[in-house]
Every structure is written in C-alpha cells, then in structure tokens.
Amino acid sequence: MKQHLIYFLTTIFLFLAPMQGLMIAVGMAIILDTFFGIYRSVKVKGWVFITSRRLSEIISKMLLYELCIICLYVMDFYFLSDLTFKLFSIEFMSTKMCAIILIFIEGVSIKENFEKATGYDVWALIKKALGRAKEVKDSVTDLIEK
C-alpha cells in the first residue's frame, strides 16, 4: 500500500513539474505582497491590526491561486494546449497567462501597500531613476566621443 502511495505521489509531482516555476513565481509574489502588507499595516496602524485571522487569509489565497494554476494546467494539458500551440506557438499559454495575471494583481497590491506605507509614488521614482540613467548614458557618450 505504501508503495502505491509513493507511485501516485510521484506521478502527480512529475505531471505538475512543468508548472513548477510558475507556481513558485506566484507563491513568491504572494509572500512579497504579504510582507509589504504587514509593513504597511505596522507603519500606518501599528501591530494591533495584525491578527491570526488576517494572516490565515494568506493561506487561503495561496491555496486558491495555486489550485487555479493547477486546474488550468490540467485543462490546458488535455484540451487547450493543442489549440493555443497552433495559434500562438506557445505551450500551455492559458496557464502562463493566468500566472501572469495573478502576479500582476499581486504587483499592484505591492505597489499600493508601498505607496500607503511610505507616501512615495512608485512610478515617479521609476521615472526619476530612468531619467538619471539617461543623463549618465549621455555623459558617458559625450566622454567617449571627446
């Protein structure tokens, strides 16, 4: 009986192996969002608002997102992959799009948490950094030309 369980779990693991990277990426986005959410909560409201009830929502979110990717991968594997591969030449495109959307959602949440905690506008900081990079590039180009 133990041997059958090992075979079954090995089969499941090997079936899901191609999606391992996507599942890790989504999981890391959730963990990063959680850290930024805790940081914002502590910075804005203090430690009082961090409760086990609120932290347990992370588990359900992680489970829901990962199960969404797994279910879509199964549908993609058996039904959708042939169609999307013929149209776009990308294997498991539906699963990858779902993972990208989930990571984007978490990224927006991270941005909002950072802005509420620090008061800085993320896009303004990025534009400022890119502007400085352009100035440095222009300076280096001028030095090389002279």
Cβ neighbours of residue 103 under 8 Å, at least 6 residues apart?
25, 26, 29
Give dist(CA 98, CA 119) in Å, integer.
Answer: 31
Per residue in 98-142, pLDDT (tens digit) is 999 999 999 999 999 999 988 888 888 888 888 887 777 777 787
Give dist(CA 57, CA 29) in Å, integer.
Answer: 15
Per residue in 43-75, pLDDT (tens digit) is 888 777 777 887 888 999 999 999 999 999 999
Give dist(CA 139, CA 9) in Å, integer.
Answer: 59
Domain locations along the chain? 2-120
Question: Do 107 and 29 touch, CB atoms closer than 8 A?
Answer: yes
